[in-house]
Amino acid sequence: MSGTINWQPETECNFQPEDTVDVWRVYIPLYKHQTAHFLNLLQPDEIARANRYVQEKDRARFIISRAALRVIVSRYIDQPARDISFGSGPNKKPFIVGADLRYNVSHSANWVLIAIAKTDVGVDTETIDSSFKFQSILEDYFSPAEISFIDGSPENFFLLWTRKEALTKATAQGLDENLKHIPSLDGMHITNTNILKTSKNWLVKSFKTDAENRASIVCEKTVQKLHFFEINLSKSV
């Protein structure tokens, strides 16, 4: 299913995702004038990564997204944002050092989405770009049933694309030649574990980041509820 979400303020979050997934939305343009300040929250390796961006907009997006991640995670683990350490696991899946917490990040256009959970999670958001010539890649990445569902619609294409990418992120796999065989239509699906490389059951929820951006969240089916929040970073640092 997909639809519009009621984004709640951070004051509604209890920061205890025992059987839930919390999805956070950050609007990048609100904070472009604060990037110098946000740099104080980052570690030297993150600052070095930020400085490798050629375009200022890309540099700003990276700084804001990393600062937002640190601020949000700090609420859950009661640790100063700058002191949090991140690591990289199998297939470069990110994790928080010393914390029983999982996260995933995606960004597109003006938005950053950050998903927080106690179980494996993946999130993806994409801008609905009507000029993108997606027809040329359909047979490489989608099944016949999925191609029929897309039916030339950019919105349907990006809906299914976010589902596939979020699922590969949740399972720590990444986009590869098996993407065509990863199901993305509504309903229950049985997938060959040699392709998806997981025996877990997964819940997929699609929604709108805003009117121009589709998104999907993938988490283990043990999750009971999804919560959606917005954070005001100006009040947080």
Structural domain spans, the chain:
8-235
pLDDT tens profile 93-106: 888 999 999 999 99
Higher pLDDT, 138 or 171: 138
Instruction: Give 113's pLDDT tier (boundaries 50, 70, 90).
Output: very high
Interatomic CA distance for residues 108 and 164, integer angstroms: 16
13-22 mean pLDDT: 93
Interatomic CA distance for residues 171 and 208, integer angstroms: 23
Q: How many of the other CB atoms lie within 10 Å of CB of 236?
A: 16
Is residue 1 scored above 50 in pLDDT?
Answer: no
Top CATH class, 8-235: alpha beta
Q: Which helix (H) or strand (E) holds 148?
A: helix 144-150
